[in-house]
A and B are shown apart, each in its own frame.
Chain A
Amino acid sequence: MTPKQKLVAFKTILIKEVLRFSRIWVQTIVPPVVTTSLYFVIFGSLIGPRIGDMGGFRYMDYIVPGLIMMAVITNSYANVVSSFYGSKFHHHIEEMLVSPLPNYIIVMGFTAGGIARGMSVGMAVTLVSMAFSDLQVHDLTVLVTIVILTSTLFSLAGLINGVFARSFDDISIVPTFVLTPLTYLGGVFYTIQMLPAFWQKVSMANPILYMVDTFRFGFLGVSDIPVALSYLIVGGFILTLYLYALYLMNVGYGIRK
């Protein structure tokens, strides 16, 4: 395939993915917006004033970046894992496998679809959050880059989960037992400075902490962790997951007999 043909193929997968989640927007876009709005109401408006300041900011302003990021993470992941596993389960992944598409285009196409869903939900949640807090943007470049990188990382993770999944149960295990706890413990609702020294060190092993913290820096201008270190770690994860996803596709794990 020529580079132009590859670009056409990539765009085809991306458009197909965007149309897929747009067609079922009531299942894909609305629920995270509703859930996050409830977080805003309960933790921000009702409980927040009693908590007082967090890291020098109103509690509502402090948790908004984390809640946006949480929606981005879960939706990027969910989009790719369900789409990839669904196409495996119903065999329409074969449409791509019989074509001359290089495996890296398939990986990039599904990942781009996950990024598109993550960003769409992120934007929707951000719009809703504006009704609850008066967030100011401290560093737009950091905001945009970290949200795209985070979305990329979890789209790739979702793809790998989709490759390994053998049943619909398998695609819900990781989000339920790994992703959600890591997100909740990733500094969405609190600053790790509140934790005892030991738990601060344990928290540093949670990659989601770096993403949430850097995203919060983009809004508030404060961070528990050096921003450059976050980029390094997120970049390292993306590279590792991409290479692993590509390896799985090249050997045909779960998709070629």
Chain B
Amino acid sequence: MTTALSIRDLTKAYANGFQALKGISLEIRKGDFFALLGPNGAGKSTTIGILCSLINKTSGKVEIFGHDIDRDFSAAKMETGLVPQEFNFNVFEPVEEIVVNQAGYFGIERRVGVRRAERYLKQLGLWEKRRCQARELSGGMKRRLMIARALVHEPRLLILDEPTAGVDIEIRRSMWDYLRELNAAGTTIILTTHYLEEAENLCRNIAIIDHGRLIENSSMKELIGKLQVETFVLDLRNPVKTLPKTEPECLRMIDETTLEADIQRGCSINFLFEQLSRQGIEVLSMRNKTNRLEQLFMHMIGNGADGKRKDAA
């Protein structure tokens, strides 16, 4: 079995008539680290909700490690762990109890559940807090608690719905390391996030959903390869009064010491530095204006530079 998740023609129409999913088909290979991206309301959380039985699908077929979620729901759920977007534990329960109880819901004996809770709470830096009520935890700790809870039955497929939302950069990076380790140990991971840097850093393959349809499904490398123009921000040592001339023209002036350069894919950037040097302009530093994936993402979901959403085709 090389397929972790298979989705065929998945649709979802809510009672109010809103068509959240319009026939999504997707395959995720075993061991993959997969990004599922899309703007708010695109259908990501609906898809995840269906995979985890929190939302009833309208039609379509879903298999998790070959187990149909309708006919063999028990086996399918045994394979799946979910870290949801919103905190969904009893905040008055002690941390350890939340994890041990979750093991119990999966039919895992209490003594085994206690052992596993210890392992995952230690790995996620929550062991010292095990006797605290969950409401006493910080936002980052609550996110990690949900990861520990999702892992306690040792699923082969872990679904993370914006796991690092509202988490500071240090904890976010430690969570990335932890997720990489999990993935390296064989767990297939599906990640939705609004931090596209996170997706680019962690994921090997990617799908983009917009308006309930899959508009992209490829490897991260292939997708990034589609980027035709990269925009760089140049910080200058001395101020300039007018926009420097270059051939081809590729510069925009942001302020007296900041320029933006659009560089075509495949072009050397040396030509730009040579021409600026000849004009006595010294570049102090250079950086990407936006994350490369973010640039592509904005283009694919039809956002203009002004951030206004264009009508989807």
Q: Roughly how many angstroms separate A5 CA and B110 CA in the complex, as a whole number?
A: 11
Among A6, A95, A99, A100, the residue within 8 A (CB) of B88 is A95
Give the shortest distance, in Å, between B66 (CB) and chain A (any CB).
16
Residues of B contacting A90 with CB < 8 Å? 88, 90-91
Nearest CB in chain A to that of B106: its residue: A99
The B78-107 residues at the A interface (CB cut-off 8 A) are 78, 80, 82, 84, 86-92, 97-98, 101-102, 104-107
Q: Roughly how many angstroms separate A164 CA and B75 CA in the complex, as a whole number?
A: 30
B177 in the interface, Cβ–Cβ < 8 Å? Answer: no
Among A1, A19, A95, A252, the residue within 8 A (CB) of B107 is A1
A201 in the interface, Cβ–Cβ < 8 Å? Answer: no
The B102-137 residues at the A interface (CB cut-off 8 A) are 102, 104-110
Chain B interface size, as a band, is: 35 or more
Q: Which of A7-15, A57-65, A140-148, A230-238 contacts B (4 or more CB under 8 A)?
A: A7-15
Residues of A contacting B87 with CB < 8 Å? 91
Task: Using known A-B contacts A11-B104, A90-B91, A99-B106, determine if residue A252 contacts B56 with beta carbons closer than 8 Å.
Answer: yes
Give the shortest distance, in Å, between B12 (CB) and chain A (any CB).
9
Nearest CB in chain A to that of B102: its residue: A95
The A5-32 residues at the B interface (CB cut-off 8 A) are 5-6, 8-9, 11-13, 16, 19, 23
The reply to whether B56 and A96 form a contact with Cβ atoms under 8 Å apart is no
What 0/1 readout, one digit per residue, does chain B (125-169) give for beta carbons within 8 Å of chain A?
000000000000000000000000100010000000000000000
Give the shortest distance, in Å, between B65 (CB) and chain A (any CB).
14
The reply to whether B53 and A98 form a contact with Cβ atoms under 8 Å apart is yes
The A213-243 residues at the B interface (CB cut-off 8 A) are none
B244 in the interface, Cβ–Cβ < 8 Å? Answer: no
Give the shortest distance, in Å, between B92 (CB) and chain A (any CB).
8
Q: Roughly how many angstroms separate A97 CA and B86 CA in the complex, as a whole number?
A: 15
Residues of B contacting A12 with CB < 8 Å? 101, 104-105, 110
The reply to whether B84 and A2 form a contact with Cβ atoms under 8 Å apart is no
Give the shortest distance, in Å, between A235 (CB) and chain B (any CB).
30
The reply to whether A98 and B80 form a contact with Cβ atoms under 8 Å apart is yes
Q: Roughly how many angstroms separate A4 CA and B112 CA in the complex, as a whole number?
A: 14
A94 in the interface, Cβ–Cβ < 8 Å? Answer: yes
Q: Roughly how many angstroms separate A194 CA and B196 CA in the complex, as a whole number?
A: 77
Nearest CB in chain A to that of B73: its residue: A100
The reply to whether A95 and B80 form a contact with Cβ atoms under 8 Å apart is no
B77 in the interface, Cβ–Cβ < 8 Å? Answer: yes
Q: Roughly how many angstroms separate A11 CA and B55 CA in the complex, as a whole number?
A: 26
Nearest CB in chain A to that of B153: its residue: A99
A50 in the interface, Cβ–Cβ < 8 Å? Answer: no
Q: Roughly how many angstroms separate A101 CA and B56 CA in the complex, as a whole number?
A: 16
Residue of B77, B80, B88 with most chain A CB atoms under a 10 A cut-off:
B88
The reply to whether B107 and A6 form a contact with Cβ atoms under 8 Å apart is yes
Task: Using known A-B contacts A6-B107, A87-B90, A92-B88, determine if residue A97 contacts B102 with beta carbons closer than 8 Å.
Answer: no
The reply to whether A95 and B105 form a contact with Cβ atoms under 8 Å apart is yes
The reply to whether B88 and A257 form a contact with Cβ atoms under 8 Å apart is no
Residue of B52, B101, B110 with most chain A CB atoms under a 10 A cut-off:
B101
The reply to whether B86 and A98 form a contact with Cβ atoms under 8 Å apart is no
B49 in the interface, Cβ–Cβ < 8 Å? Answer: yes
Q: Roughly how many angstroms separate A100 CA and B109 CA in the complex, as a whole number?
A: 15
B14 in the interface, Cβ–Cβ < 8 Å? Answer: yes
Task: Using known A-B contacts A100-B77, A256-B53, A256-B55, determine if residue A5 contacts B90 with beta carbons closer than 8 Å.
Answer: no
What 0/1 readout, one digit per residue, does chain B (44-71) give for beta carbons within 8 Å of chain A?
0000010011111000000000000000
B288 in the interface, Cβ–Cβ < 8 Å? Answer: no
Give the shortest distance, in Å, between B63 (CB) and chain A (any CB).
16
Q: Roughly how many angstroms separate A252 CA and B91 CA in the complex, as a whole number?
A: 24
The reply to whether A95 and B55 form a contact with Cβ atoms under 8 Å apart is no
The reply to whether B104 and A9 form a contact with Cβ atoms under 8 Å apart is yes
The reply to whether A98 and B107 form a contact with Cβ atoms under 8 Å apart is no
B19 in the interface, Cβ–Cβ < 8 Å? Answer: no
The reply to whether A94 and B54 form a contact with Cβ atoms under 8 Å apart is yes
- A interface list, Cβ under 8 A from B: 1-2, 4-6, 8-9, 11-13, 16, 19, 23, 87, 90-92, 94-102, 252, 256-257
Q: A5-B107, A98-B52 are in contact. List 16 more A-B contacts (CB 8 A).
A: A5-B108, A6-B107, A8-B109, A9-B106, A12-B101, A13-B105, A19-B97, A92-B88, A92-B90, A95-B88, A96-B105, A98-B82, A99-B106, A100-B107, A257-B14, A257-B56
Closest 7 interchain pairs by CB? A5-B107, A12-B104, A99-B105, A91-B88, A100-B74, A100-B77, A98-B52
What are 18 A-B contacts defined by CB distance under 8 Å?
A5-B108, A8-B109, A19-B97, A90-B88, A90-B90, A91-B86, A92-B90, A95-B105, A95-B149, A97-B52, A97-B53, A98-B54, A98-B77, A99-B102, A100-B77, A100-B106, A101-B105, A102-B74
